[in-house]
């Protein structure tokens, strides 16, 4: 029977073995320095310095302090490198995309079941298969087909906000979920406590648990997953089975509904129905359906209300912006109807508001990590094979050299002197290279819907509701 002493010795041995592994690897690697960063202590590395609040802001400050586009931190032997400039991101993620298209292997993602998602899947045949489905389903030539759904849903949102503004946050989350469920599965979310949405939301919350300190340790030392769960620091393991069940239901429940609807002839047009028919025609069989199920669940996991909430908050805090936006809407749309997608080219200031909302409160401040498949050199610094390389989108979009007075909400920064939209399309938000967000075209369509909110002339109520819920959580980013 194991004693406490045996377990302590085993833990210390694991730490020492991991430290030795890191040391030997460093000695065998290129003698070039890794990017600069905070003080690195034995075993725990830079853990005490790694920020937990607004990390993008801290990493950007370190980038200026060390005069380097890349910053490095370590935690329990895992090296993370943060990219703090658009130029470095384009060089590494686009020009060297074949090397930087992989993902780190996170043990916690496997334990919670999230390793199914294309966003976290290694650069492999499974990832290519999911990506092919999503590319086909969300291609620019296809996304306009979803416009009727988007317009119907936004009208429902406006009605809900007008009738019951105090449930502001709930309306936004319901709206985001109903959009995704209708487009992906042909499913109509009619009530606030919808079972599919409830399971999906609870499953998404488990992603945050993958970032707990104990989880970072098991990611660096996968053998820890086999230690007793009652040990100090191992409490995060007790819920992994429950999390995995939720993640499984996130995949299985809506997909089973879409299949049943297709069989009994009641299916609404959706990504699921179109791809299921295509899979049958191509003889994809069970494996094809499994890949489709995962791809659709990845699409659901990408829903977020951050930009919508940020737009509303910004309009409340800056009445002059709201007034100018309303004047543009009145001039282009009039008072007898809501805007449509066809109006978007004539509404540059509204589009600028949407872009500025994404810059001002970026939905995914620190993007999902990439991992190089070989040692790479950038600006005289070594990026070792297997390192976790993350894009600091917050820092790039708050760089005062590119965006003067970055903390201030200024839609005008996205307009030319003539009042037209400039060419800054905020690609940083959607990522670069082979891992860039596949839903960018649909996201741009959905950004256009936010002008509909401005058309809802309930300014007094808007102010009340937005101050109740000044910000909204980012659920997930790809």
Q: What is the pLDDT of residues 325-354, one digit of tens each?
A: 999 999 999 988 888 889 989 999 999 999
Query: Does residue 424 lie within any of the structural domains?
Result: yes
Residue 107 lies inside a defined structural domain of this protein: no
Residue 385 lies in a domain: yes
For residue 99, tell me if it sits in a domain: no
Q: How far is CA 325 from CA 69, 99, 353, 428, 432, in A?
A: 37, 44, 8, 25, 31
**Structural domain of 247:** 131-370+380-468
**What is the spatial distance between Cα 63 and Cα 440, in angstroms, rounded to a whole number?**
28
Residue 97 lies in a domain: no
- How far lies 381's CA from each of 30, 36, 148, 187, in Å? 10, 9, 50, 50
- The pLDDT score that the predictor gives to residue 476 is 34
Q: How many domains does the chain have?
A: 1
Residue predicted with more confidence, 410 or 468? 410
Cα–Cα distance, 394 to 405 (Å, whole number): 14
Q: What is the pLDDT of residues 12-63, one digit of tens each?
A: 555 555 555 554 455 445 579 999 999 988 888 888 888 888 899 999 999 9
Q: What is the mean pLDDT of the chain?
A: 84
Check which CATH number belongs to the domain holding 226 and give it: 1.10.630.10
User: Which pLDDT score is estimated for 229?
Assistant: 77
- Residue 161 forms part of a structural domain: yes
Domain contains 65: no
pLDDT score of 384 more than 90:
yes
* Cα 257–Cα 259–Cα 260 angle in degrees, nearest 5: 65
Does residue 233 belong to any structural domain of this protein? Answer: yes
Region 313-318: what's the mean pLDDT? 91
Nearest to 292 by CA among 277, 311, 314: 277
């Amino acid at each position: 029977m194991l004693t406490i002493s045996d377990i302590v010795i085993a833990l210390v041995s694991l730490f020492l073995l991991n430290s030795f592994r890191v040391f030997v690897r460093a000695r065998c690697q290129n003698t070039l320095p890794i990017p600069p960063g905070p003080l690195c202590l034995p075993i725990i590395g830079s853990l005490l310095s790694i920020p937990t609040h607004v990390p993008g802001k801290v990493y950007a400050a370190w980038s200026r302090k060390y005069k380097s586009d890349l910053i490095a931190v370590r935690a329990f032997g895992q090296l993370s490198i943060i990219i703090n400039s658009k130029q470095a991101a384009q060089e590494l993620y686009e020009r060297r995309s074949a090397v930087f298209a992989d993902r780190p292997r996170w043990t916690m993602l496997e334990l919670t079941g999230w390793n199914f998602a294309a966003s976290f899947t290694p650069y492999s045949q499974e990832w290519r298969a999911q990506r092919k489905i999503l590319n086909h389903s969300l291609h620019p030539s296809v996304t306009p087909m979803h416009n009727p759904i988007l317009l119907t849903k936004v009208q429902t949102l406006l009605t809900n906000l007008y009738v019951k503004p105090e449930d502001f946050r709930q309306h936004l989350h319901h709206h985001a979920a109903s959009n995704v469920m209708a487009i992906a599965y042909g499913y109509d979310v009619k009530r606030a406590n919808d079972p599919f949405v409830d399971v999906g939301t609870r499953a998404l919350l488990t992603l945050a648990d993958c970032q707990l300190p104990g989880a970072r340790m098991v990611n660096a030392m996968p053998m820890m997953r086999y230690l007793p769960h009652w040990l100090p620091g191992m409490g995060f393991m007790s819920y992994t089975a429950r999390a995995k069940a939720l993640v499984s239901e996130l995949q299985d429940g809506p997909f089973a509904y879409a299949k049943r609807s297709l069989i009994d002839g009641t299916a609404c047009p959706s990504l699921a129905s179109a791809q299921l028919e295509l899979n049958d025609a191509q003889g994809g069989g069970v494996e094809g359906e499994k890949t489709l199920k995962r791809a659709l669940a990845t699409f659901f996991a990408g829903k977020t209300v951050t930009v919508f909430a940020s737009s509303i908050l910004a309009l409340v805090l800056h009445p002059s912006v709201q007034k100018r936006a309303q004047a543009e809407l009145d001039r282009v749309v009039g008072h007898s109807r809501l805007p449509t997608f066809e109006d978007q080219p004539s509404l540059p200031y509204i589009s600028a508001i949407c872009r500025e909302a994404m810059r001002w409160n970026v939905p995914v401040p620190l993007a999902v990590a990439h991992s190089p498949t070989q040692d790479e050199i950038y600006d005289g610094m070594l990026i070792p094979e297997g390192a976790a390389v993350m894009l600091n989108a917050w820092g790039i979009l708050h760089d005062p050299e590119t965006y003067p007075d970055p903390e201030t909400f200024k839609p005008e920064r996205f307009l030319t002197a003539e009042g037209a939209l400039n060419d800054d399309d905020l690609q940083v938000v959607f990522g670069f290279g082979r891992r860039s967000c596949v839903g960018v075209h649909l996201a741009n369509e959905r950004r256009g819907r936010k002008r509909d909110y401005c058309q809802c002339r309930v300014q007094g109520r808007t102010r009340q509701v937005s101050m109740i819920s000044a910000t909204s959580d980012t659920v997930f980013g790809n």
